[in-house]
Structure 1
Amino acid sequence: MNRILYNAKVYIEKGTYAQAVLVEDGYIKDVGGNGDILKYKNGETQLMDCRGRTLIPGLNDSHLHLMQFGESLNQVQIEGVSSIGEMIKRCQVFMQEHPERVKSGLHAAGWNQDLFTDGGRLPTRHDLDEISTDIPIVLERVCGHIVTSNTKAIEILGIDGNSPQYPDGEFMLGEDGCPNGIFTGNACNVVKSIIPDFTMEERRQMLIQTMEYAVAHGLTSVQSNDVGTSFMDGPAAFAMFKELYDKGEALIRYRHQVCFNDLADFEKYLEEGVYKLGAENEDSWLKIGPLKLFKDGSLGARTALMTNGYVGDPDNHGLEWIKPEEMDRYCALAKKYGMQVVTHVIGDEAVRRTIESYEKTFEDGKNNLRHALNHCQITDEALLERIRQDDILVMAQPIFIDYDMKIVEELCGKELTSTSYAFGTLIHKGVHLSYGTDCPVEDCNPFPNIYMAVTRKNRQGEPRDGFYPKECVDVETAIDAYTTESAYAEFLEDRKGRIKKGYYADMVLLDRDIFTVDPMEIKDILPVMTMVGGKVVFEKI
């Protein structure tokens, strides 16, 4: 049985469009005009009249945290709160409405002190004690690189002002010399670990919930960092994913980006073969992907690793999550097993040091393993050129500009800002650059992300000419970054990310023409149909 989609505006590649697509056995068998494709019709053909709508390849988020997004949908919503007081109130209400869910502890993520109207300070344990002193409470900043806990959580950890700091992270002290509830870096994971985890069945349901949301917004693939972050029990996590896909319950293609507790843990996974669990075949919807490392923190938390520190605070160079020697060992082990490495880098010094580690793994000066820089926000001209010369991939999140345009010049200065978030420049240089959202840092809806890449304006359309508008890209380039470039990051550019013969039948039919609408409307576009492997996984009635 085959399926024909016709009367569509089918995006093939820049400047090239068609009208109809033939789908068979999960693949695109042919593309062309209506007459060319309708000739394949037989008694069993399923016809879909697209009524002139625009059909694009399925969108592929090259970096997010799908499981963490599921968690956020099942926790108190604190994203966007305008004050510490509002956050406290929301938590209090949530506890009253969901007593069973919080009986052993409360965890949520999304606050941002830069949005607070009551002074813009970081919340402390004293603030969270107003929510409860009976159960541990841990609230994450939107970036995930700073958390605040209440006094009960500190008591459970058993730390005081004289306790040794955690490796690659710290707990801050208040004026009284005692921990004030603020944790940074790897110490965030330590304090979060005291909150009881969701059950595997709860997590399975969350994944299905988030996949339903994803396909309703045009995503057909995700490259997701869940194991080693939201899922600390790696073997159990891999097994759960495999079962989900084996049972046919999954709606999208999923590629793991995996963190490890330490080098020995990484080596154990590799040598014992556990890391390969779930890698059925080259066309499996579930794939084991790269090693995921964190080099620094975030700009908003002032923990991004900066060469010259921050404006007005030059002695603060941010946080180096993993030291160069240890990163070199990770990269060397990844090279031994032919594994790609993706590293979280925000600050310019984080970018520089990560490139140096990558270069040590190159064969004949070439990045054959397609190591990637995730985020790659603060850069100077020399770094941009070095990325080009080394052919290092960049996994970018244009949507971050919506918030960061408010703070980056203040923290980094105008000169460095002018060469940062240089996603247009990198593409013009020929760098392989893909798009993602880092959800739940931002919503995984790809269309506001595309809007931001095209306009460099916030959701209100400001600034009028765009934030450093030379970095704007056209719509076709933005879609390519979300499709064929994301596929390149997976080594699948020969079969994924285009509506072409022999490619996966992953496609999205849009409610308006993304190529001709007013750019301000791009962020509001939604699918009317999403197809993965020839299967309609979402359809708007």
Structure 2
Amino acid sequence: MLRFASLACALFTCSLFTNSVSAAPVVLSDIKGYGFDTERQLQQFSVLVFDDASGKVLARGDTSLVQQYPQAKQLSGKGKTVLPGLIDGHGHVLGLGQYLAVAELRGSDSEQDAVNRVAQFAKANKDAPWIIGRGWNQVLWPTKQFPTTALLDEAVNDKPVYLERVDAHAGWANSKALALAGITKDSIDPPGGEIIRDSKGNPTGVLIDNAMALVEQHIPPADENAQRRALNVAFSHLLALGITSVHDAGVDTDTVKLFQQLAAEQKLPLRIYPMLSARDPQLPEWLAKGIVDDPTDFLDIRSVKIYGDGALGSRGAALIEPYSDQPSQKGLLVTQPDKLTQIMQMTIDAGFQTNVHAIGDLANRLALDRFEQLVPEDKRAASRHRIEHAQIVSPKDIPRFAKLHVLPAMQAVHATSDKNMAGDRLGVARLRGAYAWRSFVDQGSIIVGGSDFPVELANVFHGLHASVTRQSQDNQPEGGWLPEQKLSLTEALRSFTVDAAYGAFQENSMGTLAPGSWADFILIDRDIYTIPPQQLWQTEVEQTWVNGKQVFTK
């Protein structure tokens, strides 16, 4: 079981945990340390000195540092590898906590398998008014076809069931849920959404993108106590994985206010960089208040998440040309072009970072066009606007990211998850601009690395493995998928540390372990620079430290 450090002692003495306000420096020696300098170049060190009162790194270097701090607490890392605290540049914190409390469908190998899991969950949660689940992926099933209400109704017919696809861009409902939502043969598809229908026009139970809201609006909302519990579950999970900071991609007012309450109560155990949701009706009020620059960097509020299109797996990613495996479809624009322009203009004018979800090449082009139109040339570099995912980009649009100083915020694990279906969806030609990390890095673009949890597992070492090998964890395909887009380990590590920090205007305070930065770091069970790349995903975190305090021990 994972425990917080206050309940257990690992490599270090228990006295460290009880003296949390001491101003004495702490010298951590006998380590294999890796960090970065102000030029983003890799630095190695064997001693790290930090102040556990201010939470700042004081120095790093070789064993000569030990003698320079004779009054310091002396701690031994016992030869363990130390890395900067990992930063996930695109995740969903509340969603993760809620995900850990619903039916787990990730990895189900057939529709029947998914239904069996739902039935077991329903049996164990008889008092639940709704059965909620997440994680199914029809691409992994033998038929590769969307599911229907039929099997789901056989398993649960006395209460509504709603199951999100793994990418959260499609939902699967039973007949009870469809009836509660009033979805019938005569229902009209909402803009930016689709009700999947059978040959007779009847709803099958699957809803794409904006159509999901037809059911979701009827699910009873969680109260504040339930949300707090979910957040705490997510915090514990993330800290156990060595994640000390998260860019929370698309947060509504209630959740931001909850983060603010937790911060005021000093109950945020890791750093949160929330992107205000463009869907939130209170966005104009947030923008009018201006940027919130937290001197502790636990809760900096200065960005907005705007939704451009859907996802590739559900054919909701907006493409310039039709899908290769379904020529009648080009995907969905979740936010229509005129509305996209309006929201981007409002956000940019307020001085907030503008982060546009764009997976398909059309959605990426529309976002780039607007950044070019709306952001004055002399403000582009300083604004650090982002495109979240930048997954399928026309090769001629890739250089525009560098020209416009737009940051690609990419998730390495999406490539290894999607490799079995991306070629079918896109065809060979479009793959030249898909999951193109090397193309971005070679032109000087800074990649903000992330996982998109809970769409994918919140494990940065899976992302490092995918970046370096372009393989699944069973080392397939041999040589890697689209191997010309591989990154070096240092490039990949940068994307989850200092480069992710850059994507939140925080590179001077975290992600490097340089003197003056926050003492956010992790101890891991192996030296990632000396093991075969295929083993990177197996790395385990033994300790996590935030602000010079140990917050997790294995």
Q: Deviations over 1:311-345 (max 9, x none)?
A: 14333111111111111111111122101111111
Given the two structures, how large is their TM-score scaled by the length of structure 1? 0.93
Q: Which moved more, 1:306-315 or 1:523-532?
A: 306-315
Aligned residue runs from structure 1 range 290-439, under 5 A:
290-364=303-377, 366-367=379-380, 368-439=382-453
Contact 1:138 1:147 in 2 (8 A): yes
Contact 2:321 2:330 in 1 (8 A): yes
| Structure 1 residues 479 and 129: alpha-carbon distance in aligned structure 2, compared to 1, 3 A threshold | same
- CA offset at residue 127 of structure 1? 2.9
| Structure 1 residues 127 and 269: alpha-carbon distance in aligned structure 2, compared to 1, 3 A threshold | farther
Contact 1:125 1:180 in 2 (8 A): yes
Q: Deviations over 1:451-470 (max 9, x none)?
A: 11011111011122111222
Equivalent of 1:259, from 263, 271, 277?
A: 277
Equivalent of 1:87, from 77, 94, 114?
A: 114
Partner of 1:231: none
Partner of 2:225: 201
User: What is the CA RMSD across the aligned residues, in angstroms?
Assistant: 1.8
Alignment partner of 1:67 is 2:90: no
Partner of 1:12: 35
C-alpha distance in 1, partners of 2:183/2:434? 39
SS at match of 2:535: helix
Equivalent of 1:269, from 286, 289, 292?
A: 286
Contact 1:78 1:111 in 2 (8 A): yes
C-alpha distance in 1, partners of 2:492/2:240? 20
Partner of 1:210: 234
- CA offset at residue 15 of structure 1? 4.7
C-alpha distance in 2, partners of 1:497/1:74? 31
Q: What letter corresponds to residue 205 of structure 1 in structure 2?
A: R
Contact 2:105 2:117 in 1 (8 A): yes
Give the number of equivalent residue pairs. 524
Partner of 1:185: 209
| Structure 1 residues 397 and 123: alpha-carbon distance in aligned structure 2, compared to 1, 3 A threshold | same
| Structure 1 residues 12 and 83: alpha-carbon distance in aligned structure 2, compared to 1, 3 A threshold | closer
C-alpha distance in 2, partners of 1:242/1:446? 26
C-alpha distance in 2, partners of 1:329/1:406? 37
SS at match of 1:153: helix
Partner of 1:528: 542
Equivalent of 2:526, from 512, 518, 524?
A: 512
Contact 1:257 1:288 in 2 (8 A): yes
Contact 1:140 1:147 in 2 (8 A): yes
Alignment partner of 1:243 is 2:261: yes
Contact 1:509 1:530 in 2 (8 A): yes
Contact 2:293 2:301 in 1 (8 A): no
Contact 1:168 1:320 in 2 (8 A): yes
Alignment partner of 1:116 is 2:141: yes
| Structure 1 residues 322 and 268: alpha-carbon distance in aligned structure 2, compared to 1, 3 A threshold | same
C-alpha distance in 2, partners of 1:46/1:199? 44
Contact 1:324 1:357 in 2 (8 A): no
Q: Deviations over 1:98-124 (max 9, x none)?
A: 112x2x11111110001112x222112
Q: What letter corresponds to residue 205 of structure 2 in structure 1?
A: G
Equivalent of 2:131, from 106, 128, 138?
A: 106
Q: Deviations over 1:357-402 (max 9, x none)?
A: 1222212264232111111111232111111211110111111122
Contact 1:30 1:37 in 2 (8 A): no
C-alpha distance in 2, partners of 1:106/1:165? 24
Q: Deviations over 1:230-262 (max 9, x none)?
A: xxxx2x322322222222322210111121336
Alignment partner of 1:26 is 2:45: no
Q: Deviations over 1:484-522 (max 9, x none)?
A: 111111111122110111111111111110111111111
Equivalent of 1:127, from 151, 160, 167?
A: 151
| Structure 1 residues 93 and 12: alpha-carbon distance in aligned structure 2, compared to 1, 3 A threshold | closer
C-alpha distance in 2, partners of 1:416/1:86? 33
Contact 2:194 2:208 in 1 (8 A): yes
C-alpha distance in 2, partners of 1:266/1:528? 40
- CA offset at residue 57 of structure 1? 0.9
Contact 1:398 1:453 in 2 (8 A): yes
Q: What letter corresponds to residue 121 of structure 1 in structure 2?
A: Q
Q: What letter corresponds to residue 69 of structure 1 in structure 2?
A: L
SS at match of 2:58: strand
> Any stretches of 5+ residues in structure 1 without a counterpart?
229-233
| Structure 1 residues 315 and 120: alpha-carbon distance in aligned structure 2, compared to 1, 3 A threshold | closer
Equivalent of 2:75, from 24, 48, 53?
A: 48
Partner of 2:493: 479
Given the two structures, how large is their TM-score scaled by the length of structure 2? 0.91
Q: What letter corresponds to residue 183 of structure 2 in structure 1?
A: I
Equivalent of 2:183, from 159, 164, 168?
A: 159
Partner of 1:2: 25
Q: What letter corresponds to residue 69 of structure 2 in structure 1?
A: Y
